[in-house]
Structure 1
Amino acid sequence: MLCAGLVIAAGLGISSCKKDLPIKSNDKVFKVALFKQGLQEQLAGARGYQFIINQDGRWVDSAVYGIGGFDRAGNTFPAMVESEVNIASVTKTFTAVAALKLLAQNGLTIEDQIADWLPEKWSKNSAITTLKFRELLTHSSGIYEGGTSWSSLKNVVGGPLDGPKIDTYANANLALFRAMIPKLADKNTFSIKENELSADAFDQWMQDEYVKRMNSLVFNPAGTSAVCVPDPKKTTNMLMNEAPESLAGYTEGDWTPFSGGGGFFMSTVQMARMMAYLVHSDAVIDDATRAIMDTQRPGKYRIGWNRIFAVTGGTALAHGGGLTRPANGMDVSLQTMIVKLPNKVELALSINSMPKGVPRPINTIVQTAYNNAWVTE
């Protein structure tokens, strides 16, 4: 009779009986602490940074380092995950979410043309009006314009395409939704306002309505809110330079007239919260919308994600942002990023400086830290 746990060595006829034989599968497991450590090591040198790691829709770890900025007297304040930052182009992900929700509400798809949803009184070139929503959302429209002021957007709509319809990241693609989201949300009111207001007053109405709709469609369902102007009652991180240069900084002002492709002020906590809701909850988007964002047109850009890179276990989907300004004869900068990773992990990251205005390769930083966080126990 064989005892429990008997091991027979094949071909040798040797047997033994042991209890609780330790057997390892050699499967690798993800370690949040190692992911955090890898990020911290690669972000050394920044004036300050803050990031939050989610797993299974929950905040599991975070890190802050350095300073968030300084006041007029030169007194510094620390980096904090609760501090606001201009999230720059991370805004585009949230704009895309609002657009997809409103298209569905109007019985439209991303393959419909944008013509009927631009302001009636704008001069329009047929090359623009026949564009599809998908082409704007994936930066494949042929619009290359980086400016997002109202005059820039009107020039884009009134003129020919800047170039061929190839993958060319351009701020105007998503900034145009500053004019279209209010119309998609309430076409009748939009028409009334366009006819009764002056051109400047209507621009003001559209930009305010865009922010209002972004809150009701995207941020409020996740239990938060955001605006495109820094709140004087809250700490706002600055754009700064890096040592050994003498410390210089810049604080962004009102982005409401330029919003859509950038401009919301949010804390790292808010970004992490939004990622948890976008990935794990139906409160903001449903599975069908999530699938459109994650899988539509798997090329250089996807809807809401401008960075797609391979990591252990699959593909990372991310959107990065960056701003650079002159201050005291030097470039001061910031970088932001939200990342959706395999294994139900998300990252929200804000860096308060760049090395001499040159963006850090955040894709590679995240990729390296995430891959190295998988170890055999």
Structure 2
Amino acid sequence: MTHRMKGFCGLVLLSMLVTGCRKGDQDVAPDKPLTWFDTFAKALDDSLKTKQIGYGFVILEKGEVRASGRGGLKSRTTESEGEKAFTLDTKTHIASMSKTITTMAFLHLAAEKGLKTTDKIAPYLPPSWPKGENIDQITFRDLMTHRSGIIGLGNNCVNGAFSENIWSGFKQLVQQGVKTANRGNYCYQNANFGLFRVLIPGILGYSFSGDDGTDDLQTQQRYMDYVQKNVFEKVGLTNILANHPTGDPTYTYSYLKTGITGWNPGNFTNTIGAYGWYMTPTEAGKLFATVLSTTDQSVLTTAWKDTLLTHRLGTYAGTIPGGAIQYHDGWWYLKLAQYQGVRTVWMTFPNQVTAVLFVNALHHSRGNFPSDDGTDIVTYLSRAYTLTRQMKGGRKLAEKVILEHDEPH
């Protein structure tokens, strides 16, 4: 066993010995036996609360919250808003977790319109956009698995953020086309999912005017309206926006703690799609657990859920000792002298268990999850699950976590 694992095992063992555990904002009575979910939450809480970062997490079973935790600050004394606690109702930019939401929206629409994921995207792009090489070969599934052949305006598979995810950026990428040699090869690009901001309105029948300014604003609004009505509202969520609440941002910071003013990621309305939604841990837990870990079919039918999970559409897969996991993490940052940003993840485990974790700080020398040993958020959360299950079952399990794509997304 590595030194890292001994440390985490010790943490989980310690949690088994305590007589109380936070469950939401309430303490479990000392004479009430700890559930496995309490132990999982206590292990996460104990390892996060010492880091002087803002964090929130929820753990659900079949769509029901079984345990949760929160701590730290979303706004420090360095900000004009002053010191504010990070809670389970703190709106945070969920970054690339948004890609799974875009996937849900498209699959819901595909069911309505009789589309297949293998259909071509070209008929739904603006007619006035020049179409480069192989654009007519790209399918919806290609976009949702990052195998479209799009590798960015620099032709080097460096993921584009702002300039390639505004209207003019999409237009340039489509005009540039994709090389035959790149078709079918994995290349993580925000534009693959950002393009659905244009495609979904096209499928809905929007008549592109040919005026870039008009079409940009119209497609933004139509995309967001469709997601609101057919994803968020279907599971009882309202007021999910591409911006933080007015005057109440969640700032992002560096770990280890510094006195540097925090960074407000701001408004993503004109780049929404691959990233950009703001949600609370509670809201995100409800959405991802309901759609992916229950029998609820208001957003996706069972068949479309199977399609999403089987073909890894807007998701990634991995293997842990207890079975298979699926997830999508999020990563958004500003790098000046140091990294400041968010790290987020939703993850489904065996037995219809779902967990969501948000933190508002990044390791200032690496830009990843604020751990001291290099463990990133996906491995951190899946390992916590495995070790807590191990303590519950009383048997030793292998420690290895195997991920399809272990880089931050």
TM over 0.5: yes
Asked if structure 1 preserves the Cα contact closer than 8 Å seen for 2:340 and 2:367, the reply is: no
CA contact (8 A) 1:30 1:373 kept: no
Q: 1:318 aligns with which of 303, 327, 333?
A: 327
What's 2:51 paired with?
45
Contact 1:45 1:243 in 2 (8 A): yes
Cα drift, residue 335 of structure 1 = 0.8
1:332 CA displacement: 0.9
2: CA distance between counterparts of 1:30 and 1:156?
A: 51
Of 148, 151, 160 in structure 1, the residue corresponding to residue 168 of structure 2 is: 151
2:198 & 2:80 partners in 1: Cα distance? 40
Aligned residue type for 2:176: G
After alignment, is 42-51 or 287-296 more displaced? 42-51
**1:285 and 2:292 correspond:** no
Query: In structure 2, do the counterparts of structure 1 residues 74 and 263 end up closer, same or farther at CA, with 3 Å as the change threshold?
Result: closer
Matched residues in 1 for 2:345 and 2:44: separation? Answer: 13
1:339 corresponding residue in structure 2:
347
Question: Match of 1:141?
Answer: 148
| SS in structure 1 of the partner of residue 138 of structure 2 | coil
- What is the aligned partner in structure 1 of residue 113 from structure 2? 106
Matched letter for residue 216 of structure 1: K
Which one of the candidate residues 40, 52, 62 is aligned to 1:56?
A: 62
- TM-score w.r.t. structure 1 length? 0.84
C-alpha distance in structure 1 between counterparts of 2:71 and 2:229, whole Å: 33
Helix, strand or coil for the counterpart of 2:358?
Answer: strand
Structure 1 residue 207 corresponds to structure 2 residue 213: no
Q: Once the 2 structures are TM-superposed, how far is the Cα of residue 164 of structure 1 from its aligned partner?
A: 4.5
User: Secondary structure of the residue that 2:339 maps to in structure 1?
Assistant: strand
* Residue 117 in structure 1 maps to residue 131 in structure 2: no
Letter of the 1:290 partner, please give it: K
For residues 35 and 309 of structure 2, the distance between their equivalents in structure 1, rounded to whole angstroms, comes to 23
2:121 maps to amino acid: I
Secondary structure, aligned partner of 1:119: coil
Q: What displacement does 1:348 show? A: 1.2
Matches for 1:60-79 after TM superposition, within 5 Å: 60-70=66-76, 72-73=79-80, 75-79=82-86
Query: Where in structure 2 are the equivalents of 1:75-90 lying within 5 Å?
Result: 75-90=82-97
**Which one is further off, 68-77 or 280-289?**
68-77
Q: 1:65 and 1:255 mapped to 2: Cα distance?
A: 26
Counterpart AA for 1:90: M
Question: Which amino acid is the alignment partner of residue 364 of structure 1?
Answer: T
2:380 corresponds to 1:371: no
> Cα gap change, 1:74/1:260 in structure 2, threshold over 3 Å: closer, same or farther?
closer
- 8 Å Cα contact 2:118/2:139 also seen in 1: yes
**Residue type of the alignment partner of 1:103:** A
Partner of 2:356: 348
1:177 and 2:196 matched: yes
CA-based RMSD:
2.0
Q: Is the 8 A contact 2:244 2:250 kept in 1?
A: no
- The secondary structure found in structure 2 opposite 1:142 is coil
1:249-264 to 2 correspondences below 5 Å: 249-264=262-277
Q: CA offset at residue 59 of structure 1? A: 0.7
* 1:236 aligned onto 2:249: yes
SS state at 1:124 partner: coil
Give the direction of change, closer, same or farther, for the CA distance of 1:125–1:76 in structure 2 (3 Å limit): same
More divergent stretch after superposition (211-220 vs 141-150): 141-150
Q: CA deviation at 1:66?
A: 0.9
Shift of 1:151: 1.5
Q: Which moved more, 1:100-109 or 1:166-175?
A: 100-109
Q: What residue number does 1:304 align with?
A: 314
Letter in 1 for 2:355: L
Structure-2 separation of matches of 1:35 and 1:311: 16
Please give the alpha-carbon distance, in whole angstroms, between the structure 2 residues aligned to 1:168 and 1:30: 42
SS in 2 for 1:168: coil
Q: Which has the higher contact order (CA 8 A, sep 6+)?
A: 1
Contact 1:112 1:132 in 2 (8 A): yes
The match for 1:96 is 103
Q: In the alignment, residue 365 of structure 1 is paired with which amino acid?
A: Y
Q: Which has the higher strand share?
A: 1
Q: CA deviation at 1:247?
A: 3.8
Instruction: Indicate which of 226, 238, 241 corresponds to 1:227.
Output: 241
Amino acid at match of 1:156: L
Residues 276-332 of structure 1: per-residue CA shift (max 9 Å, x gap): 221211121110011001112xxxxx10213x22124321100110111146x4321
Q: Which moved more, 1:121-130 or 1:42-51?
A: 42-51
Q: TM-score with structure 2 length normalisation?
A: 0.78
1:48, distance to aligned residue in structure 2 (A): 1.4
Deviation, 1:112, is 0.9
